[in-house]
Structure 1
Amino acid sequence: MDPHTIPAFAASLSEPRFRRYLNRYDGRRQMAIRLYAWNIEISSAFWGPIGVLEVMLRNRIHDALRSGRSDAWWYDGVNLAHREAAGLQATINRLFSRTGHEPTPDEVVGASTFGFWVGLTGPGVPRDRLFSYETALWQPRLRHAFANLGGASRKELHAQLDGIRKFRNRIAHHEPIYNMNLTSMRDKIVQCASFIDGDVSRYIARSHRIDDAFARQRAVVASGSCVI
């Protein structure tokens, strides 16, 4: 069904949000609405690969930080910079408010944001003895979670992951991604997964539907035959 033929579809789009799609096609609403629908299609195609990477990343980092400690390593001698400490506490508070009991480590890990785990690969507070992640987290522990990193640095890894995080957030907030370099983002997801595990990376590379959705853009805009 062509979304352009559904009055409620177009009516549900706010003018400021829709303006970016209209501008792409010089105000031609029919094509703009179809592009909006295709943006949903290509966005949904990225969710699977990002989800696999996100779950694998958080579990590998969690395993590296709890080794030789309790599973609740955040209470066991790990110093977190303000942003990560605040994010973790917000997760714990939210879980406690929802359930009425102190959350288990598994619950905390599962509810923590992608940004929290990506942040742990960042600099923390550089040159600070306690809060520099390079010396306090990366060198002694986290680098072992990325066995296939090769010659890439923590800084390079973090830049890649943070780019994926920002992209993920655009999708989560239903923002346009049609005008981004989507093949490059696909490759970054596969590469970051390969830093952790080659087999999982190959699974993502061989199983995703990003390329199929990407190839459909012209047909969708021409005919409205979108698959969301």
Structure 2
Amino acid sequence: MTLSDRGANEDDGLIAAISQERFQPFLHKCGGDRRRALRLYAWDSEVARALQSPLRDLEVSLRNRLHRQLVGKHGQEAWWDVPKARPNHKGLDMLDGARETLEGRRPYRPFGPCDIVAQLSFGFWVSLLGRGGRDNYEMKYWNSSLRHVFLEHRGGRDDLYTKFQFMLTLRNRIAHHESVFQRHLQRDLETALTLMRHVSPEMADRHEKYGQVPDVLARRNAVLSGEEPMRL
């Protein structure tokens, strides 16, 4: 067997492990060049790993900042139990899901509001910046409290919510192992850091100084051409 044959067999094995269906978008992007598409697949994984860091800190910073703001407004840690601050049905379902998870994880250990806060998803916190349907989150949360977190934002609540939704979509794509190479990732990074600056300027500064994403984005063409190694 020649080196070329061994390389082709190795590629076949990798593509089988990935699955032809999952591999197809990478192959299409690379014009049918399987070796280049496999390098793109590796780079996509590398950039997804790098993006997890700012997205994680954006989620945690948003969660803690909104929670503190609402605790200050309503005077108790379980602000969602205050009738005028109670979320809509979808939000209440998320709260119930958080409680059920905690009860299942530690059935004989009591938990408090801080445990529930930590268990709630990014989607829950982003939803508080939305319209809230008939519950009118504009009046319930935004005008009464949360707008004070985003005093430097000039685009309005809808614009802010849309940007957080973009970040939620990106976060979920990465969490579900979906590809991200098709996205404008430089813009995604800029959006994440801009939003992070509203809720934690210190964390945004940290990512701008030490973040790995710019270096990974700059490596893309060199990885695809084989000039730089893949990082798995």
- The two structures have a TM-score, normalised by structure 2, of 0.88
TM-superposition CA deviations, 1:19-72 (whole Å, max 9, x none): 111111232221111110100001111111111111100001111111242211
Instruction: Provide the aligned C-alpha RMSD in A.
Output: 2.0
TM-superposition CA deviations, 1:172-208 (whole Å, max 9, x none): 1111111110111011001101222333322222221
Tell whether 2:97 aligns with 1:94: no
Distance 2:31 2:12 in 1: 20
Distance 1:107 1:6 in 2: 46
Is the CA contact 1:148–1:197 (under 8 Å) kept in the aligned structure 2? no
* Residue aligning to 2:4: none
* Residue aligning to 1:83: 90
* Residue aligning to 2:19: 14
Displacement of 1:7: 6.4
* Residue aligning to 1:227: 231
Larger Rg: 2
Tell whether 2:150 aligns with 1:146: yes
Tell whether 2:132 aligns with 1:124: yes
| 2:55 partner amino acid | I
Tell whether 2:78 aligns with 1:72: yes
Q: How does 1:48-59 map to 2 (within 5 A)?
A: 48-59=53-64
Q: How does 1:1-228 map to 2 (within 5 A)?
A: 5=10, 9-67=14-72, 68-77=74-83, 78-100=85-107, 101-125=109-133, 128=134, 131-149=135-153, 151-223=154-226, 225-228=229-232
Distance 1:8 1:102 in 2: 49
Displacement of 1:6: 7.0
Work out the number of aligned pairs and report it. 221
Distance 2:103 2:179 in 1: 35
- The two structures have a TM-score, normalised by structure 1, of 0.90
Distance 2:117 2:13 in 1: 40
- In terms of fraction of residues, the more helix-rich structure is 2
Is the CA contact 1:91–1:111 (under 8 Å) kept in the aligned structure 2? yes
Give the match's secondary structure for 2:130.
Answer: coil
| 2:125 partner amino acid | W
Is the CA contact 1:69–1:76 (under 8 Å) kept in the aligned structure 2? no
TM-superposition CA deviations, 1:73-104 (whole Å, max 9, x none): 12222221122221121111111111114532
**Mind listing any 5+ residue stretches in structure 2 that lack a counterpart?**
1-6
Is the CA contact 1:58–1:117 (under 8 Å) kept in the aligned structure 2? yes
**Mind listing any 5+ residue stretches in structure 1 that lack a counterpart?**
none
Is the CA contact 2:69–2:146 (under 8 Å) kept in the aligned structure 1? yes
Runs of 4+ residues over 4 Å off in structure 1 = 4-8
